[in-house]
Amino acid sequence: MKLENMDDLLSELHRVRLEIRELSEQESALKKIKNELEAKIVSNLEDQGIDQVANNKATVSIKKEIVPTVEDWDALQTYIAETGMFELMQKRASATAYRELQQMGQDVPGVRATELTRVNFRSK
């Protein structure tokens, strides 16, 4: 693809973004159907008292696992600070909090600023 003028570039970007949006909508619809099918399969398996089923196309098994739902962030953060159990958190720094500290002239040890260039696009 060799587009030279800005009008062609913007038009092509617009077309590609629309196509991505359409594909995302298709993906959302398919994920909804997938979730409904999975819920029916789980219900059927539980009704039958089994945790695995197969046919000539697939094998499906269910497994239950415990995941955390934080109801009181202050209590969790206090617990982590007191115990040093930082493994309870996922490793990702908050970009917003980091930028705020940078604007106040504060350095954050162990963190390097990386500049990203983003393209903002609005359809008319």
Tens of pLDDT, residue by residue, the chain (124 residues):
676 899 999 999 999 999 999 999 999 999 999 999 999 999 999 999 998 998 999 999 998 898 899 999 999 999 999 999 999 998 889 999 999 999 999 999 999 999 888 877 676 7
Distance CA 104, CA 91 (A): 24
pLDDT of residue 1: 62
Indicate the pTM of the whole model: 0.67
The b/e string for 50-87 (b: 16+ C-beta within 10 A; e otherwise) is eeeeeeeeeeeeeeeeeeeeeeeeeeeeeeeeeeeeee
Spell out the domain ranges in the chain.
6-51, 73-103
Q: How far is C-alpha 33 from the geometric centre of its chain's CA atoms?
A: 19
pLDDT of residue 2: 72
Among 58, 18, 62, 17, which residue's Cα sits nearest to residue 38? 62
pLDDT of residue 27: 98
If one counts every other C-beta atom within 10 angstroms of the C-beta of residue 5, the result is: 8
